[in-house]
Structure 1
Amino acid sequence: MIFGSLHWLDIAVVAAYFAAVIYIGQRASKATKSEEGFFLAGRKLGKLYQFFLSFGNATEPQGAVSTASLVFQRGVAGVWFSFQTVFMNPYFWFMNVWFRRVRLMTVADLFEDRFDSRGLSRLYTLSQIAVACVFLGFANFVAYKIASSLVVKPPVTWTAEERASVRAYEEMKRLDRAAPAGQLTAEEVRTLGDLRDRYARGELHSYITLLKPFPFYLAFTAIVGAYIVLGGMSAAAVNEGLQSVLIIVFSILLIPTGLASIGGWGQLAHKVPKDMMDLFAGQGTSGWFILAVLLPSLVQMHALSHNMTIFGSAKNEFAARFGVSGNYLKRFMIILWAFAGLVAIAMFGVGGLADPDMTWGVMSNRLLGPGLAGLMLAGVLAGTMSTLAAKALAISSLFVRNFYRHIRPDASAESALKAARWTVIAVLALGVISALLMDNLQAVVVLVLTVNVPFGAAVLLIFFWRRLTSPAVWASVILSSLVILFIPLTADYVPALRQSPALTISVPDAAGQPVAVYWKQLVRIDPTNPASALEGRGRFNVECWLLDRVGFGTSRYTPNGRETAQFFVDGLLPFLFLIVFSYVTRPTEKARVDLFYGKMKTPVGDTPEAEAEAMELTRRQPGRFDHTKLFGANSSWEFAKWDRVDAIGFVICCAISGGIIALFAFLLKLASAR
């Protein structure tokens, strides 16, 4: 050991990976002499690159860590927070093509192309800079969570304060596990309340690490920034191949080593409770809950800024569609991550870890020897880097195309690329700041599912509804952002709200402790007074508060029921705003709308000459594909009839999705057989 629990072999593996990605960035720098070359790799990426780009950007370490953590806490039912995406794959067969057919460089360009609205374009750009802070911060946060658990401080070197903090955390978790069975004395109930209050204030810790967050984030993002600034999208695409291999490796590593540590595959059935191995039973697995999580997840997918970066870089439509295969490989990774969570239950027992967020990291520390721990760390860093790279490039292209070019329309390509590179650096720096503010994995998972919903609904209707108007998008984005994001995330900073008796109502849990109806948790205003009034902390569930205003009575729901209601409101409310405001505002200029949907129905040419010829014909006859509209040529809905490729691809995708679910259920049945 030369640095905490890391061996010199581990450090050598990580250093070799860093050297490789910087070398790739340097080699790719020759292809970044233009904006299209830097952001979209010249629209020349074929099926293999699309596979790696889709897989690398869909498969991130935070997914592995959060899935293993949720399975450890909830049983395999917890996998549905991420596994619900298996139902999206057939949809991607169509969606990927839309982002290629629109023939634009950024998602923000959609708003200029469809509405002639630079204001909306800039609003989207600003929102995505904020969203990037969440996504990049989340990626950094998870990478640190794992890395810090691999570089732990030996207990003999703990200070008295550190030792007391860890012991208090472990005592809180012990009492938490005993509470549902009613085994706590009155004194222990009071102690549990005190400890929960201290934990909510950030005073308790589950482990002590040698890694400090800020230096880790700074060094990590510097490596990402180096290869992206050098090579742009070309470097990202090549690195995705290397990173995808490492992601697969780190997803597999814990399974054989973990099974060996518990005595083999057959021990899962004896050491994991049977109900925790049922994919379709348990907390969070009702059909309504799965549908509720799927809805905002599917909606927000349309507003991801890297959609245009990835699918717009495809050399043709089939290459863009082939990216769905990368998403399918991720579903297999989710199965591996879920089994890692089950192995953790077998290793540590139900609730046996003080901090469930550290499930992946603690297993890595316990199971992997010299070299393998480094390979795990390299895999985590690789997956995080792919997320950071794609998001930073997408935000960079947004800023240059939809801010810098607006201010300096005559800027040279060299000047624009310089601005793009500085933007990458700035975005990565914002990701570091965001990561420093994060402290709870599950809360961030929920935020990631909903943060892009306001613009996601708008982008989805842009593709399908010609009656959609620019004022409606403005109104919907602002109002739904208030309900879904701004009020829930800022309410606990307003004393009048977090201490309001009407908002701090609670229902008792099995131990008699108050469970908040509208807040993530409740703490005493005066921590030294057991009789103190309570105040809310964490996310404010404004969705359930609104439902109560119209008579739903969400205090009668279970915590899972309130979470389900929250996701349904988040997914549907923006569409309500968009449709209502569109019907009371003036339609967009007909000629612009006709050309937009004519372009969306014009297949991308296989050669530049064929592409130019097809688009010229569409400009002259924008309605030449109206006969393909599903509801008739005069309908305002632009759904198109499927052709042979659409139908066959969709059926195959559905079959694969069903096969993956069946395989998962079959493996769980085998694992639970005694």
Structure 2
Amino acid sequence: MSWIDYVVVAVYFIIMIAIGLWAMGRVKGQEDYFMGGRGFGKLLQTFAAFGAGTGAHEPIQVGRTGWTSGLSGVWSALMWLFVTPVYWITAVWYRRMRHLTLGDWFVERYESKALGAAYAVFAILFYMFYLSTMLSAIAKFAVPLMGTDEIAGLDLKYILVPGLAGIVICYGVLGGLTAAYWTDLIQGVFIILLSVLLIPYGLWALVEQFGDPSTQGFMDGFTIMHQRVSGDYFNLFTGPSAGEFPPQYIFALTLLALVGIVVQPHFIATGGGSAKSENEARIGLVVGNFLKRLCTVGWALTALIALALLAGRPELAVDPDLVWGIAAREILGPLNVGLVGLMLACLMAAMMSSADTYMIVSSALITRNLYATYVNPDATDRESVKVARVTGLAIIVGASIVAITMADVFAQFTFAIELTILFAAPFWIGMFWRRANATAVWITIAFSTLVFFLLPIVIPALAPQMRTSPQWTTTTNRVTKTITRAATPADVARHEAWIKAVSQADGNAELLKKIGVEPPDCSVGDEINVVLTSGDKSVFWSGGVESVKAAFERVDQTDDGKMSILTERRVGELKGQGQFNLDFLIYHYLGVDLANASKATIETLRLPTRVLLPFLVLIVASYLTPRTSQAALDRYYVKMKTEVDPDPETDRRNLEESYRNPKRFEDKRLFPGTDFEALRPRPSDVIGFAISVVVCFLVIALLSWLAGIGG
């Protein structure tokens, strides 16, 4: 980075802090601080949903999966695509709740302050791990841009992570949600720049390096990209990694995302709760998230350009997570006009636009559902805002500590996402079914905590012999596909990069393991054998199995001239690593043979247990335990049926009328007279949902069309 790049980053930071100082003067009470006075229109709601839903780790993640899996790697971030139409429905829920936190919702629906407190504790853990992934991603992205991994003898992350946290604290703690939303608007523009900036410059770099700039334009870069990269890298559902994201896995990811996303704590604000009206809530949430899906298309296209341009970089043979950083450095750096600094500021914007909202929502939960409930029930608005500012700081500090001390970014992310299992079923069922009650919810939370988080650690500790038992060290078959095709320029460059990487590793066993097997040594046009290995995944152990004395024996082999497939199984002494997948005992005792299952299939099979079991437990437990009081249920459900009026006074009067007559909307129910409280869909519900589904397919069509240009 040059001096002008550092100036760009510094100016960006100054603007963010100035907005925080401006917004500080607008905070008069809790609703101003936590919800911005519920006065946000379509524009700010759109960019709030866009900013909060777009993490700094996602462009880097798509860069990595695009490098390893081609176009199909986009599903590592696009898995949320088909969840988006449901937001048209859920946005109304969050606005009609009229709460400041989702903890308040659990308190009201289940008449339990303790559930609100438990949800607050969940939120603290969730955000510390979820936000830490973004801080870690920024640190990794900055290394190739800054040309060093340390400053003054310290690892770069020890400088960068606390620095970014400090900026977020400055403007977020001061200005609350108003500051967060206005900075999200600016940061949203930066994120869009991040998503498209490398595409035209990258295409032109392909022309300059491998074409003829005197006769070709940057659009010819698409043709060069296809000439340099094998065609299987441009398939949206199956790629060179033996189908890392097949349709059934995408479906499973979509359903898992849908079940869990509704209880992510920030959705009470960005999901519609801070909007002026239900219409603003819906449009903001859906449009903001579709804007993110379009940005994901840009990330995928950038990854394909990087595949064609950077296949010869030895650093990427070691760590594909560096794709985005190296692409920015190599494509934008030579221009020396501040674009590298702009790219770094853009990625920081992706992190900070999420971090500020997460911090404020977390501080609201701590203030309202812990402090005001158990420490100082008589706290004034002024005192509550002071507590919120201090506790918001603690969340960011905690996330920074996790980012610095926990090296495994993917583990941080998956732990945060899986935590939503604890509250997903109580939310979904509580929204529609009167029979659900607090006792049943506690039973469900206890069940999920034990089965999915505690027992997988405790059982192997109490019975260590399980780790070496042949019964529990089962692995799926290893499938080796050998594909015969013509070598592309990228294949030649990959082999050269592999040679350089091995030479630079200088015998380091850990680095050599990351580099992997040698790609084919070839010239362009040579017939080569591309070897793709999949399977050999542990069924019962999260960390896989380690061979003590083991070998592979052949199960099957086929060859049709273009592709040979060798299927083998691991035999011998093995030792399980990590946690025990307790939920897979169900498949074991049902006699399901998982030997031929792919990695995607194994991941897909996590769906029935981790999603359906908590729902089943809650339903059964609800029938066996006492109901919530009739008066509380009547008050809650009639409130959720009362449309929000943008005028607070009118809305208050409408609510009072509903509370006086809880049966006023009985004629709008799908199943009147039952415990099921779903309403009949309105025309606006159906039309908006249908349009959103169509847009999902248009996004896929756009991505396929762009990737196919020049092919």
SS in 2 for 1:31: coil
Matched residue, 1:594 = 634
Cα distance in 2 for residues equivalent to 1:37 and 1:333 = 31
The correspondence of residues 103-118 of structure 1 with structure 2, limited to 5 A, is 103-118=98-113
- Measure how far apart 1:591 and its partner are: 1.4
Letter in 2 for 1:504: T
Which runs of at least 4 in structure 1 moved beyond 6 Å after TM superposition?
Answer: 489-495
Give the TM-score of the pair, scaled to structure 1. 0.85
Structure (1/2) with the larger strand percentage: 2
| Residues 240 and 466 of structure 1: CA distance in aligned 2, closer, same or farther (over 3 Å) | same
Matched residue, 1:395 = 362
Cα distance in 2 for residues equivalent to 1:210 and 1:260 = 37
The correspondence of residues 424-435 of structure 1 with structure 2, limited to 5 A, is 424-435=392-403
SS in 1 for 2:543: strand
- Measure how far apart 1:280 and its partner are: 2.7
The correspondence of residues 638-653 of structure 1 with structure 2, limited to 5 A, is 638-653=677-692
| Residues 444 and 219 of structure 1: CA distance in aligned 2, closer, same or farther (over 3 Å) | same
SS in 2 for 1:468: coil
Aligned length: 611
Matched residue, 2:543 = 520
Q: Does 1:287 align with 2:227?
A: no
Counterpart selection for 2:610 from 565, 570, 573? 570
Cα distance in 1 for residues equivalent to 2:82 and 2:623 = 32
The correspondence of residues 523-562 of structure 1 with structure 2, limited to 5 A, is 523=546, 534-538=574-578, 540-562=580-602
Give the TM-score of the pair, scaled to structure 2. 0.81
Cα distance in 2 for residues equivalent to 1:222 and 1:76 = 37
Matched residue, 2:173 = 229
Q: Does 1:82 align with 2:44?
A: no
Cα distance in 2 for residues equivalent to 1:271 and 1:592 = 65
Q: Does 1:243 align with 2:187?
A: yes
Letter in 2 for 1:107: L
RMSD over equivalenced CA pairs, Å:
2.7
Q: Does 1:334 align with 2:296?
A: yes
Aligned partners of 2:66 and 2:73 also within 8 Å? yes
| Residues 74 and 213 of structure 1: CA distance in aligned 2, closer, same or farther (over 3 Å) | same
Tell me the alpha carbon deviations over residues 617-652 of structure 1, each in whole angstroms, 9 at most, x when there is no partner.
Answer: 10001121121111x211222221122222222222
SS in 1 for 2:317: coil
| Residues 144 and 296 of structure 1: CA distance in aligned 2, closer, same or farther (over 3 Å) | same
SS in 2 for 1:215: helix
Aligned partners of 1:284 and 1:290 also within 8 Å? no
Cα distance in 1 for residues equivalent to 2:15 and 2:52 = 19
- Measure how far apart 1:546 and its partner are: 3.8
Letter in 1 for 2:683: R
Tell me the alpha carbon deviations over residues 64-112 of structure 1, each in whole angstroms, 9 at most, x when there is no partner.
Answer: 1112211211222122232132212211011011001011110001111
SS in 1 for 2:545: strand
Q: Does 1:299 align with 2:338?
A: no
Cα distance in 2 for residues equivalent to 1:521 and 1:256 = 42
| Residues 363 and 520 of structure 1: CA distance in aligned 2, closer, same or farther (over 3 Å) | farther
SS in 1 for 2:654: helix
The alignment-based identity, stated in percent, is: 32
Aligned partners of 2:71 and 2:234 also within 8 Å? yes
| Residues 670 and 230 of structure 1: CA distance in aligned 2, closer, same or farther (over 3 Å) | same
Counterpart selection for 2:442 from 471, 474, 477? 474
Matched residue, 1:459 = 427
Cα distance in 2 for residues equivalent to 1:374 and 1:490 = 47
Aligned partners of 1:218 and 1:432 also within 8 Å? yes
Tell me the alpha carbon deviations over residues 151-185 of structure 1, each in whole angstroms, 9 at most, x when there is no partner.
Answer: 2339xx99xxxxxxxxxxxxxxxxxxxxxxxxxxx
Q: Does 1:319 align with 2:314?
A: no
Matched residue, 1:657 = 696
Cα distance in 1 for residues equivalent to 2:294 and 2:534 = 41
| Residues 655 and 98 of structure 1: CA distance in aligned 2, closer, same or farther (over 3 Å) | same
| Residues 483 and 9 of structure 1: CA distance in aligned 2, closer, same or farther (over 3 Å) | farther
Counterpart selection for 1:48 from 43, 47, 66? 43
Cα distance in 2 for residues equivalent to 1:259 and 1:523 = 44
Relative contact order: is structure 1 or structure 2 higher (C-alpha 8 Å, sep ≥ 6)? 1
Matched residue, 1:584 = 624
Letter in 2 for 1:308: I
Letter in 2 for 1:401: R
Matched residue, 2:564 = none
Letter in 2 for 1:639: A
Q: Does 1:60 align with 2:55?
A: yes
Aligned partners of 1:303 and 1:453 also within 8 Å? no
Cα distance in 1 for residues equivalent to 2:366 and 2:534 = 52
Aligned partners of 1:504 and 1:519 also within 8 Å? no
SS in 2 for 1:281: coil
Cα distance in 2 for residues equivalent to 1:519 and 1:459 = 28
Cα distance in 2 for residues equivalent to 1:540 and 1:75 = 32
Matched residue, 1:607 = 647
Matched residue, 1:353 = 317
Counterpart selection for 1:372 from 339, 361, 372? 339
